[in-house]
Amino acid sequence: MTTTARLHYQALAPEAFRALVGVNNALGTSSLGKKLLDLVYLRISQVNGCAYCVDMHARDLLAQGEDLQRLNSLVTWREVPFSPHVSALHSTGLKA
């Protein structure tokens, strides 16, 4: 497997990076819950094509007791009976 060089976005856009960290912190303390957020993060990582992040979020979800079949089906979330919360979050911006 080959990897491509990634942009060092922390250095290129430090204000945007700080804002992103702030959003992540706010989500982490919200009532959404870690499992739901990790499902969304996993799907975003799939769309972004980041193998490292897909692996990390999948492992986190498995450790939280998420079903492997649901994780494998996340890429086809429109076809799988996820909760209304998961479907609503996915449909807000994930078109891929």
- SS3 call for 83: coil
- The 10s digit of each residue's pLDDT in 14-43 is 999 999 999 989 999 999 888 888 988 998
d(CA 50, CA 33): 23
Give residue 15's pLDDT.
Answer: 96
Query: Are the C-beta atoms of 21 and 27 separated by less than 8 Å?
Result: no
Fold annotation for 32-96? AhpD-like (1.20.1290)
Measured over the CA atoms of residue 90, residue 91, residue 93 and residue 94, the dihedral's sign is positive
Largest Cα span, the chain: 41
pTM summary value? 0.71
- The 10s digit of each residue's pLDDT in 56-86 is 999 999 999 998 988 888 887 777 666 666 6
Residue 4 has pLDDT above 90, yes or no: no
Give residue 96's pLDDT.
Answer: 47
